[in-house]
Amino acid sequence: MLIKSIFTNSSGILFSRILGFIRDLLTASILGANIYSDIFFVAFKLPNLFRRIFAEGAFTQAFIPAYAKAKYKIRFSSIIFLQLIGFLIVLSLFVTLFSGLITKAIALGFDEKTINLAAPLVSINFYYLPLIFIVTFMAALLQYKNHFATTAFSTALLNLSLIAALLISKNLDKYEITFYLSYGVLIGGIFQVIVHLIAIKKKNLLKVFTFKKHEKKEENRFYKSFIGATIGSSTAHISAFLDTWLASFLVTGSISYLYYANRVFQLPLALFAIATSTALFPMVAKAIKNKDEQRALYLLKKSTVILFFLLFIATLIGIVFNNFIIYVLFERGAFNSVDTQNTALILTMYLIGLIPFGIAKIFSLWLYSHEKQFIAAKISMKALAFNIIFSLILIVPYKAAGLALASTLSGFILFYLTIKEFGLIKFFNLFKN
């Protein structure tokens, strides 16, 4: 079951990422690495930041263990959905009303003209957040039922939508293209909602939207875990957000270099680490709920061994062929050889941290399954603090590459602290044979 689930997730992620690279290839060719690509990436980064913190990361980590223990699962899940979707809709309206201030806050290095260009895009893109929360809520229910295919393959719909937007608008003014891309984000989100609705209907899970009377105790337990998970999940994405913010003070194109390099780095991380953790988490959570710790440890050990070798190979290939990878993927049109060299160097800095980030993600599941989200959050906050320190030290001598290296160094801190909390002796005993 574990290997099959990992393979399903990996296949879906690979398919989506191939389309994502086609999307990035077209974006690099049509927009290049300039002010227009920078403002779109800034606009899209904000909903992505909140999506990964609230929707994909924190929500799933808190929801699945709470849902597994809930006495009245339908009542519990329905009220949680209603409360959070209401909050996200209000938040989206707030961003629309104050888009200029929000844009200035997330890109302080932008001048007034650039902020005015970016603000409408920030407003449009943010409405992707409530859409993707609906997707994530339904995905969590499907994961609990060991159904992963719909969620794994649905991200491809977002990439297809953006590819279509680029092809339709390629001959227009570059600023107009950014609007087509922004509306393409929303259309992709709507398609993702539709396919998940079809999947949960087939699994007879639509009754979770009945909004019946619920157990306050279960709700409170979820939100306690959710707050801790939100803090913990936010740190990695705040780190990426910090990179964008600091890079806005560097030469034009630095934000885009970081974006393209991070996109390549995220492929093996998603293909192997995220695919494995997504498949593993419901199984570990159920084993812990049933007080079967040996089963949970066996699953962790098996997953870690597989993941280590996959990430090691990916790291080796990525570092050796960094220039070639960026050249093949992006060097065409407005993206030139200098852009390739700058992006390839940043990619190497990111890849050094691939293994520690991946393994830390697996062992954090142990903490989440025991509903120790606040402990995981403290670990993540410490790693973030080190990341900020490293970034401020390294940005001056190494520019954008220094920001990527700072992220990698914080990954090693995160790995050490996570294993320390799991138990160093327990960790070594788990793998001594």
51-79 pLDDT tens trace: 666 555 678 878 888 887 777 777 888 88
- Give the global pTM: 0.74
Q: What is the pLDDT of residue 433?
A: 65
Give which of 289, 344, 310, 366 is closest to 66, Cα–Cα. Answer: 289
Q: What is the pLDDT of residue 52?
A: 65
Q: What is the pLDDT of residue 402?
A: 95
Phi first, then psi, for residue 280 (nearest 5°) are -75, -35
Q: What is the pLDDT of residue 57?
A: 66
Q: How far apart are the C-alpha atoms of 372 and 430, rounded to whole Å?
A: 21
- Spatial contact of 289 and 69, defined as CB atoms under 8 Å apart: yes
- Spatial contact of 106 and 245, defined as CB atoms under 8 Å apart: yes
Helix axes 174-202, 149-169, angle to 10 degrees: 160
Helix axes 216-247, 73-97, angle to 10 degrees: 30
Could you say which residues of the chain have pLDDT below 50? none
**How many residues belong to the chain?**
433
Q: How far apart are the C-alpha atoms of 76 and 104, rounded to whole Å?
A: 39
**5-55 per-position pLDDT tens digit:** 777 878 887 888 788 878 888 887 887 767 787 788 888 877 776 666 655
Instruction: Give the CA distances from residue 340 to residues 254, 332, 347, 406, in Å, rounded to whole numbers and listed in that order.
Output: 12, 10, 10, 21
Q: How far apart are the C-alpha atoms of 255 and 317, rounded to whole Å?
A: 25
Instruction: Give the CA distances from residue 298 to residues 284, 427, 431, in Å, rounded to whole numbers and listed in that order.
Output: 10, 12, 10
Strands (E), 143-267: none
Q: Is the dihedral of CA 374, 377, 379, 381 positive or negative?
A: negative
